Chains A and B, each alone.
Chain A
Amino acid sequence: MAELVRLAIVGSGPAGLSAAGRAAALGLSHVLLEKSDHLSDTISKYQKGKHVMATPSQLLLRSDQAFAVGKREDILQTWTDRTTALAVNVKYNAEVKSIRGTGPAIPGSIQKIVTRARDGSSTMTEVQRFAPPYAIELSSGETIMAESVILAIGTQGNPNLVRCPGSDLPHVTYQLDDPYAVLDEHIIVIGTGDAGIENARGLAEDPAQRNMVTVLNRAAKSTNVRESFATAKEPNALALVADHDAGKLTIRYETETKAVEPGWITLATRDGEEKIRCDRIIARIGSAPPRGFVEACGIEFSSSDRLAFPVLSPVFESSAPGIFVIGALAGYPLIKHCLNQGYDVVEFINGNTALKPADEPLLEAKFRDLPGKRSVDEWLEMLRSSIAILEAMSPLQMREFMLDSVVRSCSKGEVIFERYDSGSSLFAIAEGSVHVLTDPGDATKVVPIGKGSIFGEVGLISGRRRGATVVAAEDAICVEISRTAALKLQSQVPAARKAIELISIERQLLQIFSSGLTSADVAELVASARVENKVAGEVVLAEGEEGRDIYIVRRGSMIVERLIGGRPVFLSYLPAGSYVGEMALIDGGPRSATVRAAIKSEVVRLPGDAFARLLQRRPELLAKARSDMAARHDVNMFIESRKESFSSAVDMYSQTAQFLVDNGIGEATDVLLIDEKLCIGCDNCEKACADSHDGLSRLDREAGKSYAHLHVPTSCRHCEHPLCMSDCPPNAIKRGDDGEVFIDESCIGCGNCQRNCPYGVIRMDSEPPKKPSLLSWMLFGAGPGPGEAPKTWRKKNASGGEPPKKAIKCDMCSGIDGGPACVRACPTGAAIRVSPEAFMSVAHMESDN
């Protein structure tokens, strides 16, 4: 039996280092296990010289480790020095294979692990938990015994491995630090995602390196790179294909590895096996999230959702007693949080129960100005117990949740938000009640919402502007839950997700038909409603089919088409919040047009029979539905009437609409388009953009797709559900008052948003030096003139080195009087900003002709 330590810490990232440092400072017996041969592997893989930020700035650092803003190398050096000084017992090259309890079986403590296969089937395994001490088995075969384990392994996971004979040879690698240091080698790159493409192109970029680079692609060759390189971004894939065409590197399609031996690789191709030279293999085939390993340790996750985190007690203890989870794996991706938690968790394990979390002052500040003198813990408890969707949260989850949320005290009559305000946050009522003004013209038509319930969920789900004004009906206390916090809440607390879904369906029904319906009227519909996911292009209703169900577009958007003369003709574009399918129900007969998803969407499907019964009970609703339908009959008539005389115009319009949908306009809220019948290519839009925003342009006019002289430049579409927001560690990307998606000053420059944006509109750059004034340029030629300064000028005039790179993107010139500079500065009127529903309507086609 190996020696028993008090604490084993797995992972030497910021969280693990801080925990080990605290354990060493307290004199606890401990071991820090690191799978690589150096500390902080994830951060050491950041690019060379990367500027690491220390957000949130208002949070105090509480750790034996030091941390301040600085270069990657300096920070790692400080940590290494500090770890040595604290005499931390580090064990390198110690990859943990399993952690199991060696004490008696814990009665009734059984974990159920559900694994889903690709084909949709799932299997469940049950794991009996055993009490500590834990046996930690390393891949070297060694076993370490520990009373408690702190898991601080982050979320990077382990890279997927090549599986074939010889794949354990040392020249089979999974990363590439510096492509320019590799010379004169035969290199095989496996994996055609962005990482693999980037490595392959880097290795082949300079012919002087004399590398022979081969990229293996399992997919077949296709003229459409979206098919042949499904996991890569289109520009990257196109660049790789161009390199192949230029003879810089070779892409082999329909090829996989069969066997590896020193100096050679055997490939399985469509035409049989082939053996070629190979000095190095770089496999970039994704990584497996650490969830499987964590679950096998007996740690339960809050839900099966991909975004879910482990269930933890207020002292970070998981459902396996004696195993603690901190850092990114616990849901805290920022370095400062990690360092603080490392300190806190060791203090807790050491019996310091009086320690207040480091975020206490932040929460105190949030509650300070509210009526009623309550402590932070009392506030958290009061909110949790009075708001239905928060009920299932643990105190630790509540703390984190409140850091991303705002508590507002509203006096009677105060407007909480107005109709057409943009906002994607969710509100919950902790005290008092509010009124929703359903009719903008008549302030007496209100729907009350009481204590414990929520409102504003339409903005959260559809990403569109607020549908109605909400005012406080009496003095009230509301929690405004940011979009990020709301999404986290839904993935962590399944009950909250269900509750939000039901309420949102009911509200959507009431809002759409808005003819004095009550909850009781729609109860039957809500109960039988189903939420269905539709992928882009999926048909929801097919023209000519029988069917009576009604669909509400809950998220995403739809396009409506009809076959006229054998060709699909675009009729209209339906944003979230629209409903379809009632024509067949009311008029009878088959579906009169095809409705398909423009982008990935969610629809609520309501059974036609239940809806028909509702129409029978409420004749005024039938009247409203009929008047809505009349407008659409007109559109159909218009298209029918034009089909002879204007068939080519209609055709053209359909194709233009399809082009716009293909280019992401379907999920846009506001997009810059350029009418190339007017654009003289002066780039004054780019110059104006740069001069309105710190000297950097946020749009590339010339790049991007065009169709029929309509050009979609590389510029932000301000998506309904921005992908850039999905993985921003400091939550720096927000939606502003005018619907703009912007990045605030807390950006840490990690580049996640740039990688996540499917339209390539985010760039990473540092703020250039200030230019001389326009007049001194015009009169004396001082400085580089209007627009973005060239790199050379910026380098020459940078005082004290280049500032750190941050993410920059279009913010629709928010806060600048007069609106978007690109449009104001266009001399010919070619640049226009539009919202999709306004642009893609038949009315617009009519005005064009």
Chain B
Amino acid sequence: MASTPHAGMRADHKAVADHDGFLRHARFRWIKVALVVCLIALIGYFAADVKPRPYGGSWYGYTLGTAGVLLIFWLALLGIRKRAMTAGRWSLKAWTSAHVYLGLALVVIATLHTGFQFGWNVHTLAYALMMLVIASGIYGAAVYAVLPSTLSSNREQLTLSQMVEGIRAIDRQLHEAAQPLTHSYTEVVLAASEESPFATSLWSRLSGKYPHCATARALTAFQNVASSPDTGPAFATVETLLIRRKAQLDRLRRQTRLKALLEIWLYLHIPGTIALIAALTAHIVSVFYYW
């Protein structure tokens, strides 16, 4: 029905090209690079004539070891890149993409570097720590790929503070509405409204199970006597409010659960990286010391 004046302007290209996630960035550029790196390492492993058998101290072992340690330091730099808002044409998405795929390539490089020789020593400790960091990273990449859409649908356009404010608003109404009830009922209601949505164990937050939820208990108390004769209109109002509180609390808990699942691995990934760098330093120093 119409013609537009600036068809094919620069923005056109931008919108379409940039709209890829970190895993698909630049048509899987970094997965391709990582595969090539792995392939070269494997070919080298079988082609290199190392006597008596492949091991870390051979010339090829040193090559792989140097590549591995440089890669580890570069991978660790993501933490700084993310926080240092310098000018320039860099994109954190590209960094993340490279971080994920090159980090996976490290499995191949480092394992070949060991020459499959393991033992109870600092060398194997460094290897184990590295694998732990990579495993937590795989979990991280997986939740980053899967969870965001659930996070988005669960919050239904509300911000976290709006969710908390919504529960507080119900609490104020509960206080008013529970005034005419008998003592035992006001107790339960009070306990429910004083329950903080955040004071909870890590396990509850991650699993989403709250066996001691005061709101759920209050609701059960009300629903079990719903047909008794001494229930007035106040009783029904409180019950409705409790149902609403429960629903909003559930949403808030789902939200904090998803957030926790998205973040928990970092508590392993980052201290693990620091421990890895320490063990790696010990590994390198000891190798050269006993040369």
Interface residues of A (CB under 8 A from B): 242, 245-248, 420, 464-465, 467, 511-512, 541, 558, 560, 571-572, 574-575, 577-581, 583, 591-593, 595, 628, 631-632, 670, 675-681, 684, 687-688, 691-692, 702-706, 709, 711, 774, 778, 785-786, 816-819, 821, 823-830, 832-835, 837-839, 844, 847
B244 CB to closest chain A CB (Å) equals: 11
Report yes or no: B157 in contact with A817, Cβ–Cβ below 8 A. Answer: no
Report yes or no: B147 in contact with A684, Cβ–Cβ below 8 A. Answer: no
Across the two chains, which residue of chain B brings its CB closest to A777? B83
The 8 closest A-B pairs by CB, nearest first: A676-B152, A577-B5, A835-B11, A580-B2, A691-B85, A246-B169, A829-B93, A628-B3
A745 CB to closest chain B CB (Å) equals: 20
B179 CB to closest chain A CB (Å) equals: 12
Report yes or no: B2 in contact with A579, Cβ–Cβ below 8 A. Answer: yes
Report yes or no: A679 in contact with B152, Cβ–Cβ below 8 A. Answer: yes
Contacts of B93 in A (CB 8 A): 826-829
Across the two chains, which residue of chain A brings its CB closest to B89? A818
- The answer for the CA separation of A583 and B2 in the assembled complex, in Å, is 8
Report yes or no: B90 in contact with A677, Cβ–Cβ below 8 A. Answer: no
Stretch at the interface among B15-23, B125-133, B225-233, B277-285: B15-23
Contacts of B10 in A (CB 8 A): 420
Report yes or no: A678 in contact with B85, Cβ–Cβ below 8 A. Answer: no
Contacts of B152 in A (CB 8 A): 676-677, 679, 706, 709, 711
Which of B15, B22, B80, B173 has the most A CB atoms < 10 Å from its CB? B15
Report yes or no: B15 in contact with A827, Cβ–Cβ below 8 A. Answer: no
Report yes or no: B21 in contact with A838, Cβ–Cβ below 8 A. Answer: no
Given contacts A578-B4, A580-B2, A817-B89, 18 further A-B contacts (CB under 8 A): A248-B172, A420-B6, A558-B2, A560-B2, A571-B1, A575-B6, A628-B3, A632-B2, A632-B3, A678-B21, A678-B148, A680-B151, A774-B83, A829-B93, A830-B148, A832-B19, A834-B11, A835-B11
A418 CB to closest chain B CB (Å) equals: 13
- 27 A-B residue pairs with Cβ-Cβ distance under 8 Å, sorted by A, are A246-B169, A247-B176, A467-B6, A541-B1, A572-B2, A577-B6, A579-B3, A583-B1, A595-B2, A675-B19, A676-B151, A677-B148, A678-B21, A679-B152, A680-B147, A680-B262, A681-B151, A706-B152, A709-B149, A824-B90, A824-B92, A826-B92, A827-B82, A828-B21, A828-B96, A837-B4, A837-B9
Report yes or no: A677 in contact with B5, Cβ–Cβ below 8 A. Answer: no
- The answer for the CA separation of A245 and B166 in the assembled complex, in Å, is 10
Contacts of B19 in A (CB 8 A): 675, 829, 832
Across the two chains, which residue of chain A brings its CB closest to B156? A706
Are A688 and B89 also in contact (CB < 8 A) when A583-B1, A827-B22 are? no
Q: Does B144 contact A (CB under 8 A)?
A: yes
- Checking A575, A786, A821, A824 against B5 with a beta-carbon cut-off of 8 angstroms, the contacting residue is A575
What are the interface flags for B1-37 relative to A under an 8 Å C-beta threshold, 1 for contact and 0 otherwise?
Answer: 1111110011110111011111001000000000000
Contacts of B6 in A (CB 8 A): 420, 464-465, 467, 575, 577, 837
- The answer for the CA separation of A786 and B90 in the assembled complex, in Å, is 18
- The answer for the CA separation of A631 and B8 in the assembled complex, in Å, is 13
A811 CB to closest chain B CB (Å) equals: 14
What are the interface flags for B234-272 relative to A under an 8 Å C-beta threshold, 1 for contact and 0 otherwise?
Answer: 000000000000000000000000010010000000000
Contacts of A246 in B (CB 8 A): 169, 172-173
Across the two chains, which residue of chain A brings its CB closest to B166? A242
Contacts of B224 in A (CB 8 A): none
- The answer for the CA separation of A715 and B18 in the assembled complex, in Å, is 19
Report yes or no: A818 in contact with B18, Cβ–Cβ below 8 A. Answer: no
Across the two chains, which residue of chain B brings its CB closest to A834? B15
Report yes or no: A575 in contact with B2, Cβ–Cβ below 8 A. Answer: no
Q: Does B160 contact A (CB under 8 A)?
A: yes
Contacts of A826 in B (CB 8 A): 92-93
- Checking A242, A581, A628, A828 against B144 with a beta-carbon cut-off of 8 angstroms, the contacting residue is A828
Q: Does B91 contact A (CB under 8 A)?
A: yes
Q: Does B47 contact A (CB under 8 A)?
A: no
Report yes or no: B18 in contact with A829, Cβ–Cβ below 8 A. Answer: yes
Are A578 and B2 also in contact (CB < 8 A) when A829-B18, A832-B18 are? yes
Contacts of A711 in B (CB 8 A): 152
Contacts of B9 in A (CB 8 A): 420, 835, 837-838
A657 CB to closest chain B CB (Å) equals: 14
Report yes or no: B85 in contact with A829, Cβ–Cβ below 8 A. Answer: no
A640 CB to closest chain B CB (Å) equals: 14
Across the two chains, which residue of chain A brings its CB closest to B88? A818
- Checking B5, B157, B262 against A706 with a beta-carbon cut-off of 8 angstroms, the contacting residue is B157
Across the two chains, which residue of chain B brings its CB closest to A813? B87
Report yes or no: A828 in contact with B22, Cβ–Cβ below 8 A. Answer: yes
A245 CB to closest chain B CB (Å) equals: 7
Are A821 and B147 also in contact (CB < 8 A) when A628-B3, A702-B159, A838-B15 are? no
Report yes or no: A688 in contact with B149, Cβ–Cβ below 8 A. Answer: no
Q: Does B43 contact A (CB under 8 A)?
A: no
Q: Does B199 contact A (CB under 8 A)?
A: no
B204 CB to closest chain A CB (Å) equals: 20
Report yes or no: B159 in contact with A829, Cβ–Cβ below 8 A. Answer: no
B interface residues, tally (CB under 8 Å): 50
Across the two chains, which residue of chain B brings its CB closest to A595? B1
Across the two chains, which residue of chain A brings its CB closest to B84? A774
- The answer for the CA separation of A622 and B263 in the assembled complex, in Å, is 61
- The answer for the CA separation of A819 and B11 in the assembled complex, in Å, is 13
Report yes or no: A677 in contact with B15, Cβ–Cβ below 8 A. Answer: no
Across the two chains, which residue of chain A brings its CB closest to B176? A247
Which of B5, B12, B18, B173 has the most A CB atoms < 10 Å from its CB? B5
A229 CB to closest chain B CB (Å) equals: 19
Contacts of A577 in B (CB 8 A): 4-6
- The answer for the CA separation of A630 and B269 in the assembled complex, in Å, is 56
Report yes or no: B4 in contact with A821, Cβ–Cβ below 8 A. Answer: no
Contacts of B159 in A (CB 8 A): 702-703
A579 CB to closest chain B CB (Å) equals: 6
Are A827 and B92 also in contact (CB < 8 A) when A684-B82, A688-B85 are? yes
Report yes or no: B169 in contact with A245, Cβ–Cβ below 8 A. Answer: yes
Contacts of A592 in B (CB 8 A): 1
Which of A571, A680, A691 has the most B CB atoms < 10 Å from its CB? A680
- The answer for the CA separation of A560 and B96 in the assembled complex, in Å, is 39
Across the two chains, which residue of chain A brings its CB closest to B99? A827
Report yes or no: A705 in contact with B157, Cβ–Cβ below 8 A. Answer: yes
Contacts of A844 in B (CB 8 A): 15-16
- The answer for the CA separation of A593 and B2 in the assembled complex, in Å, is 10
CB contacts under 8 Å to A, within B82-110, are 82-85, 87-93, 95-96
Which of A467, A705, A824, A830 has the most B CB atoms < 10 Å from its CB? A824
Report yes or no: B96 in contact with A827, Cβ–Cβ below 8 A. Answer: yes
- Checking B85, B144, B153 against A821 with a beta-carbon cut-off of 8 angstroms, the contacting residue is B85
Contacts of B90 in A (CB 8 A): 818, 824
CB contacts under 8 Å to A, within B112-160, are 144, 147-149, 151-153, 157, 159-160
Contacts of B172 in A (CB 8 A): 246-248
A94 CB to closest chain B CB (Å) equals: 48
- The answer for the CA separation of A706 and B16 in the assembled complex, in Å, is 20
Are A702 and B96 also in contact (CB < 8 A) when A678-B21, A825-B82 are? no
- Checking A464, A786, A839 against B15 with a beta-carbon cut-off of 8 angstroms, the contacting residue is A839
Are A512 and B15 also in contact (CB < 8 A) when A680-B144, A706-B157, A824-B90 are? no
Report yes or no: A574 in contact with B4, Cβ–Cβ below 8 A. Answer: yes
Which of B16, B88, B147, B176 has the most A CB atoms < 10 Å from its CB? B16
Across the two chains, which residue of chain A brings its CB closest to B95? A827
Across the two chains, which residue of chain B brings its CB closest to A239? B165
Across the two chains, which residue of chain B brings its CB closest to A245? B169
- The answer for the CA separation of A400 and B87 in the assembled complex, in Å, is 40
- Checking B5, B14, B144, B176 against A838 with a beta-carbon cut-off of 8 angstroms, the contacting residue is B14
- The answer for the CA separation of A692 and B86 in the assembled complex, in Å, is 8
Contacts of A692 in B (CB 8 A): 85
Across the two chains, which residue of chain B brings its CB closest to A467? B5
Report yes or no: B12 in contact with A838, Cβ–Cβ below 8 A. Answer: yes
Are A512 and B3 also in contact (CB < 8 A) when A247-B176, A829-B22, A838-B11 are? yes
Report yes or no: A818 in contact with B87, Cβ–Cβ below 8 A. Answer: yes
